[in-house]
C-alpha cells in the first residue's frame, strides 16, 4: 500500500481542518515545501496536496506554494482543490504534478470528467468526499443526494482508475477512519481506492493494507506526532 502524507494549503500555509470546517483551522507552518522535504527524508515517495482556498472559491490561490513543493522534492505529487476546467489541469501537469484530482467538477459536470479521462487517462483521479454516505462538493460546503459508493462505480465505468475517498465526519477528528466503507469500496473491481480521513493508528494502516486498499493518506496524525511517518510507510510495505 502506498502512503501519501498530506499538505493542505490555505493562504499559502500548511494547515489542517477538522471535519472540513473552514472555521476550525490549525496552522502548522508557513513553509509547505519544508514539510514536503521532511516527509521525503522520512521515506515518502508520494504526496497529497489540497488547495483549500481553490476548493472553496475555485481560484488558483496556492499555485506558487505548490510549484515550490514540486521544485524542492522528486515525490509523485497529486493535487486537488478547485480544479474545474482543463486549463487548470494543464497548468498543474505542466509543472510536474503527477495526477490531478477532480471533485466538485466530477459530480457537477460528468461530461467534462469523461472528456478529461479520455484525454489524460490515469493522470485524472476523482475525489469522492462523503457526508452521511452522500457526495459533498465545493470544499464540502454542499451535500448532494448522490450515493457515494454508487458514484465510485459510475466513475469506474467511464475509465477512472483512482478514487480518493474521504469520510468527512472522520477527517481531522483523530478518532479513527471508516474501515467499513473501505471494505465495501475494496470490492469494486478495477478501481484503486485511496483511503483518506481520520487515520490515526497503525492498526488502521494494517487493516487497510490487508483489505487491498491501494493507498492511504495520513494528515493530522503525523503533524501531531500520533503516527510516525517512517513507521507508517514501513508497515504499509510489509
Q: Where are the domains of the chain?
A: 2-237
Catalytic status, residue 129: yes
User: What pLDDT band is residue 27 in, cutting at 50, 70 and 90?
Assistant: confident
Catalytic residue among 8, 51, 53, 171: 8
- Dihedral over Cα of 172, 124, 70, 93: its sign: negative
- Is 26 or 82 the better-scoring residue by pLDDT? 82
Catalytic residue among 51, 129, 167, 171: 129
Catalytic status, residue 30: no
Task: For the domain made up of 2-237, give the CATH fold.
Answer: TIM Barrel (3.20.20)
Task: Determine phi and psi for 22, rounding to 5 degrees.
Answer: -70, -10
User: What pLDDT band is residue 31 in, cutting at 50, 70 and 90?
Assistant: confident
Average pLDDT taken over every residue of the chain: 90
In the structure grid, which three cell numbers stand for residue 172, read together? 481531522
- Is 18 or 60 the better-scoring residue by pLDDT? 60
Q: Which of 160, 174, 45 is nearest to 112 (CA)?
A: 160
DSSP3 helix / strand / coil % (the chain, rounded to 5): 40, 30, 30
Q: Residue 43 in contact with residue 74, Cβ under 8 Å?
A: no
Is 90 exceeded by the pLDDT of residue 220?
no
pTM, to two decimals:
0.92
Gap between the Cα atoms of 171 and 22, Å rounded: 13
Amino acid at each position: 500500500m502506498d502512503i501519501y502524507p498530506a499538505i493542505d494549503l490555505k493562504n499559502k500555509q500548511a494547515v489542517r481542518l477538522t471535519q472540513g470546517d473552514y472555521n476550525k483551522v490549525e496552522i502548522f507552518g508557513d513553509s509547505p515545501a519544508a514539510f514536503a522535504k521532511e516527509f521525503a527524508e522520512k521515506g515518502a515517495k508520494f504526496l497529497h496536496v489540497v488547495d483549500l482556498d481553490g476548493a472553496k472559491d475555485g481560484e488558483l490561490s496556492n499555485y506558487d506554494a505548490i510549484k515550490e513543493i514540486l521544485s524542492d522534492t522528486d515525490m509523485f505529487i497529486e493535487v486537488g482543490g478547485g480544479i474545474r476546467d482543463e486549463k487548470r489541469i494543464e497548468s498543474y501537469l505542466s509543472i510536474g504534478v503527477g495526477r490531478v484530482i477532480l471533485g466538485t467538477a466530477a459530480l457537477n459536470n460528468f461530461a467534462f470528467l469523461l472528456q478529461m479521462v479520455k484525454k489524460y487517462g490515469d493522470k485524472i483521479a476523482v475525489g469522492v468526499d462523503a457526508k452521511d454516505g452522500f457526495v459533498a462538493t465545493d470544499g464540502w460546503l454542499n451535500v448532494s443526494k448522490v450515493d457515494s459508493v454508487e458514484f465510485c462505480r459510475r466513475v469506474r465505468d467511464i475509465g477512472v482508475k483512482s478514487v480518493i475517498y474521504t469520510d468527512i465526519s472522520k477527517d481531522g477528528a483523530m478518532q479513527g477512519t471508516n474501515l467499513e466503507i473501505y471494505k465495501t469500496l475494496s470490492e469494486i473491481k478495477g478501481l484503486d481506492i485511496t483511503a483518506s480521513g481520520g487515520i490515526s493508528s497503525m492498526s488502521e494502516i494494517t487493516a487497510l493494507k490487508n483489505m487491498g486498499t491501494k493507498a492511504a493518506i495520513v494528515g493530522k496524525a503525523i503533524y501531531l506526532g500520533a503516527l510516525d511517518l517512517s513507521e507508517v510507510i514501513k508497515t504499509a510495505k510489509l
